[in-house]
Amino acid sequence: MTDLTAERPWPDDGSPWPSATTRPVVLLGWPARHSRSPQLHNAAFAAEGLDLVYLALPVPPAALDDVVASLGQVEAVGANVTVPHKQTVVASCDRLTPEAELIGAVNTLVWDGDGLLGDNTDATGLRDALAADLTPPPAAGERYVLLGTGGAARAAAVAVGRLAGEVVVVGRRFDAAAELADLAERAGASGASTCHLDDQRAVAGAVAVSRTVINATPLGMHGELLPLPVGQLGPGQVAYDLVYDPPVTPFLRDAAAAGALAVGGLGMLVHQAAASFERWTGRLAPLARMQAVAAGDR
């Protein structure tokens, strides 16, 4: 573990920051400038008095390997990895945590004495966010509908599995949906099945008997509608969107209008960030401070 016990470098005690001793933690994505992660992590570093700075680095796919290697050379402490690099960066890691191996993707990198470790905090973040955001908290055997078969959906499948839920994976590719259903069961799901997106009767039936519908696609970031019978959701049900910007997507808007609880992805962002912080620093994350910053409290 990196030694992060430096004196507080932040301006609140008059010390210059950043300084020649400040070490970087970065976000690798394409694009990356839209992310809220720098605000969350820099606030957390300040709260803990750590001589670290978090930066967003837009990295085109062709440059990923070179950038990761360069970060190791300049004593970066760690990194987050976002789309489209979460699966590609696996090849750059010297070793993976069991969680990253299970999900098949990496969102957290740590440079230490044994090289580059790849981890994934997305499933942990979503599990913790669901437990915090839903009242009552998720119980074993609850039913979920999961829309999507990409990297975010893989983490969501593991999160639902860890909650011992029963999930229907909805997608356009049967093989990808079946793989995620199997992944959910390996993570502990009480049951997992698939449904083709074009089979609207079957999709509607799955939505009708589920407590929580999770959108694990990028649809909604630019005002897109989900190809789901969202209007069928009602009181006692939950629309959970992993998209956090905008805070209210058409999916959440329509679900709320139908009487369902509508929850955006900001909670997952904060909880996965807290887990990454703990991986880099060996300290408990200042979760309350990170939540306040995410909510717009500077």
* pLDDT tens, per residue, the chain with 298 residues: 455 544 444 555 566 778 888 999 999 999 999 899 999 999 999 999 999 999 999 999 999 999 999 999 999 999 999 989 999 999 999 999 999 999 999 999 999 988 999 999 999 999 999 999 999 999 999 999 999 998 899 999 999 999 999 999 999 999 999 999 999 999 999 999 999 999 999 999 999 999 999 999 999 999 999 988 877 899 999 999 999 989 999 999 999 999 999 999 999 999 999 999 999 999 999 999 999 999 886 5
* In a shared domain, residues 133 and 36: no
CATH at 64:
3.40.50.10860
Residue 4, domain member (yes or no): no
Distance CA 264, CA 268 (A): 8
Distance CA 17, CA 120 (A): 30
**The pLDDT value given to residue 4:** 57
Residue 43, domain member (yes or no): yes
* In a shared domain, residues 26 and 134: no
- Annotated catalytic residue, options 23, 41, 85, 86: 86
Distance CA 270, CA 196 (A): 32
**The pLDDT value given to residue 12:** 57
Distance CA 144, CA 167 (A): 5
Residue 189, domain member (yes or no): yes
**The pLDDT value given to residue 298:** 57
* In a shared domain, residues 134 and 259: yes
Active-site residue flag, 213: no
Q: Which of 197, 170, 200 is nearest to 184 (CA)?
A: 170
Q: Torsion over CA of 184, 276, 78 and 26, rounded to 10 degrees?
A: 100
Q: Which domain holds residue 27?
A: 11-120+270-294
* In a shared domain, residues 79 and 102: yes
**The pLDDT value given to residue 9:** 47
HSE at residue 239, side-chain half, CA atoms within 13 A, is 28
Residue 68, domain member (yes or no): yes
**The pLDDT value given to residue 273:** 98
Number of domains within the chain: 2
CATH at 210:
3.40.50.720
The answer to whether the beta carbons of residues 122 and 93 sit under 8 Å apart is: no
Question: Which DSSP category does 83 fall into?
Answer: T
The answer to whether the beta carbons of residues 187 and 153 sit under 8 Å apart is: no
Q: Say if pTM beats, i.e. exceeds, 0.85.
A: yes
* In a shared domain, residues 198 and 137: yes
Residue 290, domain member (yes or no): yes
Residue 5, domain member (yes or no): no
